A and B are shown apart, each in its own frame.
Chain A
Amino acid sequence: MIRYHARHSTVYDYGEPVTLAHHMIHLSPRQAPYQTPLSHRITVTPEPTSWNARVDVFGNAMVQFAIEQSHRRLVVEALSEVEVAPRPKPAVKAAPWENLVEVVAEAGPETIEAFAFLHDSTLIEVGDDLAAFAEPDFKPGRPVVEALLALTHRINAEFTFDPTATTVTTPVREVLADKRGVCQDFAHLMIGAVRSLGLPARYVSGYLRTRPPPGRPRLVGSDQSHAWVAVWTGAGWLECDPTNDCLAGVDHITLGWGRDYDDVAPLRGIINGGRDAELDVGVDVIALAEA
């Protein structure tokens, strides 16, 4: 079990004043069997005129706020302390993955929730092309966990991590064609591929603890927000990180999950004015104690 301190700051500098801003943020670590939030604080400058904290439909803590005073700079800072334990080991069942597709389709009580993650969502559209991409790893009769690990590995091997290749709106098909992107793109690609086969998959937003190269100090602000994938395996959700070719473990701190990025974007808003904005995001994840 590891205790972390995480700082996530988002700064917008606007080229012209923003006269009215409505924002929604998903910046609070989520309670889970393997994760316990210990303390959490969000500060926003300038002072919001309204502040509504609630839990969204997927169970994530979120805040919606508005700023009515004219401003040229917005600062949102989230400070969290959280304890992360290892996830339970996935049970590698021998049953073929196709059986699971059928179980899901029967819509029994335990898969009702999974249906939300089975089909198209705002940023991901299922299709034959995505199914074809997944199929080399999903040969008939292969157990689902084995197939998912293979797909996770293949995305990591075939795709190039390239922060300049994509933007937040790059479609999954473009990522598939260019074979470049960042964690958000790889997560969306894997979700789309798995859903196209008939398996529910969700998008997990969070942080990844990064370790500096041996002998070098950790640089402040060098960490990033991270994203990975959770797939319904019939016995819980298996969390795959295609960017790093691993399963999520004690280095993965979970903020929340949804159908795709759009459901759990760290910050999204509608503003009046504020053309030519510049954005600066800094994340620091520091391990306080390893138990």
Chain B
Amino acid sequence: MSLIAEPFAPDLPETPPAAPLLRSYQPLLGHVDEWFAPTGALRKPLEPVVQMISGLGAGGLAEREEAARLLLRDNGVTYNVYGDPRNAARAVELDLLPLVIDEAEWAAIEAGLIQRARLMNTLLSDLYGSQTTLKTGLIHPAIVQTNPDFLRPLVGLAPPGGIWLHAYAVDLARGPDGAWRVIGDRSRTPAGAGYALENRVVASRALPDLYRAMRVRRVAAWFDRLRQSLRLLAPRTRSPRIVLLTPGPYNETFFEHAYLARYLGFTLVEGNDLTVRRDQVFLKTLGGLEPVDVILRRVDDDFCDPLELRGDSTLGVAGLVQAARVGKVVIANALGAGLVETPALMPALPALAEHFLGETLRLPQLETHWAGDAATRARLIERCEPLSTRPAFPRAGRSSPEGRAAWAAHLRRNPYDAVGQEPLALSTVPTFEGDQVVARPVVMRCFVAATEDGFSVMPGGLVRVAPDLDRAMVRLQQSGQAKDAVVLTSGPVDEFSLLRPPDSAVEVRRQGNNLPSRVADDLYWVGRYAERAEFAIRALRALVLRLTDGAGTGAQSEIAPCAHFLRVLGELTPALAEAASNARAQFDRELVPFLTDDSRTGGVYATLRRLSGNASMVRDRLSLDMARTLRFVDAHVEELRDIAPGDHAGLLSQFDSLVMASAAMAGLGMENMTRGQAWRFMDLGRRIERALASVHLLRVLVVGGPDHAGQALDLALDIADSFMTYRARYFTYAQFAPVFDLLLLDEANPRSLAFQIRAIADHVENLPRERGAGASGSARLLIQTALAELRGADVARLSGTNRRGRHSELEALLEAIAETLPELSDLISQTYFSHALAVRPDGPTRGPLVPKVRA
């Protein structure tokens, strides 16, 4: 279908001077080119673009591309889809050469999109209401009744203001006749508006002169209108709370959810953050339950309520449908809106536009056939290849057949579940491929929002580039590249930006107790895992340091006790500790696999992966620098895998980097986070973990026996980063009493147990009091007792031994604190995280608990 044209040189205007990059550009035969007319002449609106390319030259343009790539990467740092470096941060890369649409053409598209949004919204009201379209035969009942997107519990529910589609997206493509036509609708949870916004922000920062020169319509005002309209619909008019409901960081478009939530100023929440009480939706926060007025959802309709919709969903909120039914919450898009996404509806739309609006359908559509009758079914089977026949109801979860026989079998049992579309030669836009500029087919996703003044179209869109010439249809998942869609205007360019609202004074606010409990929970664990990882790395680094000592052989007399010490600490397996002492080659072979073993709980790799996982759940709460540091940690953890056996220097350098990164995390936490509850829970996690590790270390020292006692004390000082302090204080080798004073009792040493206990006590004093006053009283009692015991301890007495040579008093003290800390951690979990946690261990229960009909 898409053949490469006979090469012809584009007829570039004399002024501006022809851009060398475009000299060898070849439009595709049979496709409209967005930049060049069929004569080869550059289209008028593109002149500034080509001027810019000429001005910059290939090198300059490459620099701008690099700048854009870095901007996107930095955004990716904040909004990455799960902090997994093996996973692509972003679904799409940005190509700076834009799709440009002039004013007149855009006016027609805009009018067509508004009409289509009105039509779809009216249609939804009918299908969930009186269903006149079914009764009069305008729509075949199978399109509704056999469609898994038709959610029966929503029948009869009229959303506030009659608005089903608060945000609606349409995929458009320009065919060989030059007309833009609809190739698909997105009504469920339309993705892409956030990407379009980000692309605009990045492209206009990479090419500021061009965007100024072109008189480009801004997109920010559209987002503000969307936000305003959601606010106006809120049941409570005074400071309503709007949340963005995401399936979570494992979702492929989580980046966009986090980006939009921050941009629009909505709270990013997951289903477990919400609860329904007395038909009202609440957000679970540290301070208790806070009402939620509007939910902008990115969770699919049927997953939103496990009670009335899909029972196996863990992403939704039980009772949400009922809350919507009684009008106590506005859900955008309204639940059930996914119904009009099926392409099976497309053939019926022209008649429906006449019926409902008394208008002709403005935007042409890609010619679409739905398997509503036997003749069409036969055609869809016969021509399944060119029509790219596919299921009409993909969410029924049936596999998509390949080939005629398979389609025939599929349609015999599911006669309505197929749709085919005539192939279309998509228009092309010049696109970078390496250092070449080639013609690539594109589709454009446009976005419509319901506003006070009716539907409003974002002036721009997300342009996706087909990865190869054979791929006529472009889906978000398979598309490697994106472009900015630029809409030109002859009028004034509005300078509106959501980041700087023009005339509204910003209310001064300080963080209260409204931190979601789940976020506090995650931050607490970020603190704990970060500290846990640092301790493990410090311990292992002490060993590897001894291996590389001197000529790189390491003195056996140092290594054996060190390995033994690490084994007792639990940082080495017995086998590995044995190998470190006696079988160095085996140890070298096994060390890296041991370090990077994901299944070993508490191990370096597993701990850092959990840190990364927890951090990604709270990405929108971390500063850019902290997120960058986490990214750095991720990268270094992966590099551990590549270290050759026996490359101790390489290992050491990775360990050093990780320790530095951990220090950077801690430092950023101390210096750059506001002392609100978010900081408090993260630091509390860090302190409790460090206290646990200290107690453990000291107990190992105490009961470790006289063997190599001096070296064990050295190691303990090393791991606790207190070696230099000790040296400066005592000018002597490590001895029991001074080491214990420094690591156990000295409140001035930030690595001592006493320091941690005092910090924890301070946090406990300042925890939110609204909930569980009794519990926070118990926590206070626990930690104050521990602190008093440490303060009352006398180092000389503690150093003393009983008749059997044991430090019995010291052991008792450490044991008491070792018991207190987990108790305290549990108490805090129960008090502050429990309403977030209640559903976590086993999730909402159903299934076996439902009575079986038995007779």
Report A's interface with B, CB cutoff 8 A: 10, 12, 19-20, 22-24, 49-50, 52, 56-58, 64, 66, 68, 105, 107, 109, 111-112, 115-116, 118-120, 126-128, 131, 163, 166-169, 182-184, 196, 198, 205, 207-208, 210, 223-227, 243, 261-263, 265-275, 277, 279, 281
Contact = CB atoms under 8 A, between A and B. Distances in A.
B285 interface: no
B134 A112 contact: yes
B853 A227 contact: yes
A57 B413 contact: no
Nearest to B321: A64
B34 to A, nearest CB: 43
Interface in B121-162: 131, 134-135, 137, 140-142, 144-146, 148, 152-153, 155-156
Contacts of A12: 849
Contacts of B416: 119
A224 B854 contact: yes
Nearest to A8: B851
Contacts of A131: 413
Interface in B834-855: 838-839, 842, 844-855
Contact of B277 (A66, A210, A273, A274): A66
B319 interface: yes
B844 A205 contact: no
Given A118-B146, A168-B851, A169-B847, A19 B838 contact: yes
15 contacts: A22-B307, A24-B308, A57-B153, A112-B131, A115-B145, A118-B142, A120-B414, A128-B409, A163-B854, A168-B847, A262-B311, A267-B851, A270-B844, A272-B839, A277-B849
Contacts of A227: 853, 855
B308 A66 contact: no
Given A183-B854, A272-B839, A66 B278 contact: yes
B318 interface: yes
Contacts of A50: 278-279
B26 interface: no
B312 to A, nearest CB: 10
Contacts, number: 154
B396 interface: yes
A68 B855 CA distance: 33
Given A107-B141, A112-B135, A270 B307 contact: yes
Given A68-B277, A225-B855, A270-B307, 13 more contacts: A20-B277, A22-B276, A22-B319, A49-B277, A107-B141, A168-B848, A169-B848, A208-B855, A268-B846, A268-B850, A270-B306, A274-B845, A277-B845
Contacts of B307: 22-24, 64, 268-270
A273 B152 CA distance: 29
B322 interface: yes
B347 interface: no
Interface string B507-537: 0000000000000000000000000000000
Given A20-B275, A118-B145, A225-B854, A269 B842 contact: no
Contacts of B851: 10, 168, 225, 265-267, 279, 281
B823 to A, nearest CB: 20
A267 B852 CA distance: 10
Contacts of A167: 848, 852
Contacts of A196: 413
Contacts of B855: 182-183, 207-208, 210, 223-227, 243
A111 B851 CA distance: 32
A178 to B, nearest CB: 16
Contact of A261 (B322, B413, B853): B853
B555 to A, nearest CB: 55
Given A225-B854, A227-B853, A261-B853, A116 B845 contact: no
A112 B318 contact: no
Name B's interface SS.
loop
Interface string B311-335: 1000000110010011000000000
A8 B208 CA distance: 73
Q: Which of A66, A182, A198 has the most CB of B within 10 A?
A: A66
A198 B844 CA distance: 36
B415 interface: yes
Contacts of A268: 307, 311, 846, 850
B146 A119 contact: yes
Given A52-B322, A66-B319, A182-B853, A57 B278 contact: no
Interface in B398-441: 409, 412-416
Nearest to A224: B855
Contact of B142 (A115, A271, A272): A115
A75 to B, nearest CB: 13
Nearest to B156: A57
Nearest to A12: B849
B840 to A, nearest CB: 10
A13 to B, nearest CB: 11
B409 to A, nearest CB: 7
Nearest to B145: A115
A270 B848 contact: no
Closest 6 CB pairs of A and B: A224-B855, A115-B145, A270-B318, A226-B855, A115-B141, A184-B853
B135 A273 contact: no
A52 B849 contact: no
A249 B413 CA distance: 32
Nearest to A18: B845
Contacts of B145: 112, 115-116, 118-119
Contacts of B135: 109, 112
A105 B415 contact: yes
A208 B853 CA distance: 11
B414 A119 contact: yes
Nearest to A105: B415
A89 to B, nearest CB: 25
B842 A275 contact: yes
A107 B852 contact: no
Contacts of B413: 126-128, 131, 196
Contacts of A49: 277-278
A267 B850 CA distance: 7
A281 B849 CA distance: 12
Nearest to B280: A50
Contacts of B155: 57
Contacts of A166: 852
A123 B280 CA distance: 31
Contacts of A56: 152-153
Contacts of B306: 270
A284 B846 CA distance: 26
Nearest to A200: B145
